[in-house]
């Protein structure tokens, strides 16, 4: 049995605590069954203030009382020494150095930042998909200089990637490799953080471009859906879906939605004939994440909720289902160009960000990776 099941609480820290993702971490962690917020980190400008003075709180729930008066520290490992887990909502400009320093200080970091996603020793884990990639952690520790006993970094994926890899993983599990996939996203403004998108750019408008986003989807999907192989030198390595070539093409758009990314997906299976829409629907609905099976408390009961109504999922109506921890799929039907097409919607600030980090941490606790 892992620690938490014995009723012991684990102290956790939050880096970038005043930012958009950091606020979401705090809102979620304040109600967590065994993680307890112990330390908050932000920029030098915020350091020394009580949290309620340092933050411009933009969540719909008030600031949790437990953190209102908690002091904000600079993001230095010494202030987080007693934290079993550190969640990072840092901006990419500073996340690289800070997260490195925390790992070097034997801290465990679950990061939303993109800096380490392409690191060959850092798992990029969508907790409803590829928790098997935790198997790289021992190697990450041993290759570190000096080798680490406890510290490691795990990243989670970009929010738009997260939405789509969940159904893709379910379908590969059921029907074998996918050969190609076209994704067109309609992404919420909260994906850009705060202040993020100027209102003049998006009210009564669509912006058919998000810098770097298409590349992230195309690359991250391969790392997440790929396996772990062994190199000639005896090292573990992410195979980037090398067992079967997988072509992905993404087109990313920003729309006037506060929360919830909607994505139109078409795909072609390697297997001929391909599964029918009904078989696809069933495979999606039956897919269960290992995280849920293992009892991670933040993992959703329905990894993928499959809508039957012709006009769902919709971000405003479906983004809060299961606290946004799962993904919703609808309109599963045949595609005249590839095989199957459908719509997927996921809450970009829940499963697309903070919730993913937290489930990853719960999984790591469960597997004994955190002590």
**Residue positions annotated with a catalytic role:** 159, 261
Q: How far apart are CA 176 and CA 171, in angstroms?
A: 7
As measured in angstroms, the least distance from the Cβ of 204 to a second copy is 4
Nearer to a second copy, 199 or 371 (CB): 199
Nearer to a second copy, 3 or 314 (CB): 314
Segment lying near a second copy (by CB under 8 A), choices 101-109, 225-233, 247-255, 358-366: 247-255
- With CB under 8 A as the contact rule, the residue among 176, 201, 244, 271 that binds a second copy is 201
Nearer to a second copy, 13 or 352 (CB): 352
| Residue 264 interacting with a second copy (CB under 8 A) | yes
Please report how many Cα atoms fall inside a 13 Å half-sphere around the Cα of residue 191, on the Cβ side.
30
| Residue 195 interacting with a second copy (CB under 8 A) | yes
| Residue 62 interacting with a second copy (CB under 8 A) | yes
Q: How far apart are CA 223 and CA 214, in angstroms?
A: 15
Count other Cβ atoms within 10 Å, centred on residue 104: 14
As measured in angstroms, the least distance from the Cβ of 154 to a second copy is 28
Residue 122, classified by CB atoms within 10 Å of its CB into exposed (0-12), middle (13-18) or buried (19+), is: buried
Number of residues that bind a second copy (CB under 8 A): 63
Residue 267's SS3 state is strand
| Residue 10 interacting with a second copy (CB under 8 A) | no
Helix (H) or strand (E) holding 13: strand 10-15
Residue 282's SS3 state is helix
| Residue 242 interacting with a second copy (CB under 8 A) | no
**Of 180, 179, 75, 156, which is closest to residue 360 (Cα–Cα)?**
156
Nearer to a second copy, 127 or 191 (CB): 191
CA terminus-to-terminus distance, the chain: 13
As measured in angstroms, the least distance from the Cβ of 312 to a second copy is 8
371: which strand partners? none
| Residue 346 interacting with a second copy (CB under 8 A) | no
| Residue 189 interacting with a second copy (CB under 8 A) | yes
Site for a second copy in 292-321 (CB under 8 A): 310-321
With b for 16 or more beta-carbon neighbours within 10 A and e for fewer, the 46-62 pattern comes to bbeeebeebbebeeeee
Q: Are β-strands 340-346 and 327-334 bridged in parallel, bridged antiparallel, or unpaired?
A: antiparallel
State how far the alpha carbon of 73 is from the alpha carbons of 40, 94, 118, 178, 216, in Å: 6, 15, 29, 46, 32
Nearer to a second copy, 3 or 59 (CB): 59
Q: How far apart are CA 118 and CA 224, in angstroms?
A: 11
Segment lying near a second copy (by CB under 8 A), choices 23-31, 77-85, 116-124, 336-344: 336-344
Segment lying near a second copy (by CB under 8 A), choices 35-43, 139-147, 170-178, 334-342: 334-342
Would you tell me which residues interact with a second copy (CB under 8 A)?
58-62, 180-182, 184, 186, 189-190, 194-209, 211, 218, 247-249, 251, 253, 255-258, 262, 264, 266, 310-321, 330-331, 335-338, 341, 343, 345
């Amino acid at each position: 049995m892992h620690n938490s099941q014995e009723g012991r609480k684990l102290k956790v820290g939050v880096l970038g605590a005043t930012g958009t993702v950091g606020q979401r971490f705090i809102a979620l962690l304040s109600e967590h069954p065994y993680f307890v917020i112990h330390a908050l980190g932000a920029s030098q400008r915020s350091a020394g203030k009580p949290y309620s003075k340092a933050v411009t709180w933009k969540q719909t729930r008030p600031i949790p009382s437990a953190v209102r008066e908690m002091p904000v520290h600079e993001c230095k490992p010494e202030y987080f020494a007693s934290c079993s887990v550190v969640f990072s909502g840092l901006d990419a400009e500073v996340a690289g150095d800070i997260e490195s320093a925390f790992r070097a200080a034997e801290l465990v970091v679950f990061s939303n930042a993109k800096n380490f996603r392409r690191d060959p020793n850092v798992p990029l884990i969508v907790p409803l998909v590829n928790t098997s990639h935790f198997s790289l952690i021992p190697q990450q520790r041993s290759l570190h200089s000096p080798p680490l006993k406890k510290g490691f970094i795990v990243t989670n994926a970009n929010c738009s990637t997260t939405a789509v890899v969940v159904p893709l993983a379910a379908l590969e599990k059921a029907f074998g490799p996918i050969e190609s996939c076209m994704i067109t996203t309609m992404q919420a403004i909260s994906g850009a953080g705060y202040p993020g998108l100027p209102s003049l750019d998006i009210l009564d408008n669509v912006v058919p471009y998000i810098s770097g986003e298409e590349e992230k989807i195309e690359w991250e999907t391969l790392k997440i859906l790929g396996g772990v192989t062994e190199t000639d030198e005896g090292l573990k390595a992410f195979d980037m879906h090398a067992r079967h070539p997988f072509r992905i093409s993404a087109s990313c758009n920003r729309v006037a939605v506060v929360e919830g990314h909607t994505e139109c997906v078409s795909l072609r299976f390697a297997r001929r004939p391909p599964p029918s829409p009904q078989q696809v629907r069933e495979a999606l609905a039956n897919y269960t994440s290992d995280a849920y099976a293992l009892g991670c408390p933040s993992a959703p009961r329905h990894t993928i909720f499959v809508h039957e109504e012709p006009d769902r999922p919709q971000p405003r109506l479906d983004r809060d289902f299961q606290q946004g921890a799962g993904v919703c799929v609808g309109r599963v039907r045949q595609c005249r160009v590839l095989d199957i097409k459908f719509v997927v919607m996921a809450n970009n600030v829940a499963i697309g960000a903070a919730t993913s980090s937290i489930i990853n941490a719960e999984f790591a606790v469960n597997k004994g990776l955190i002590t």
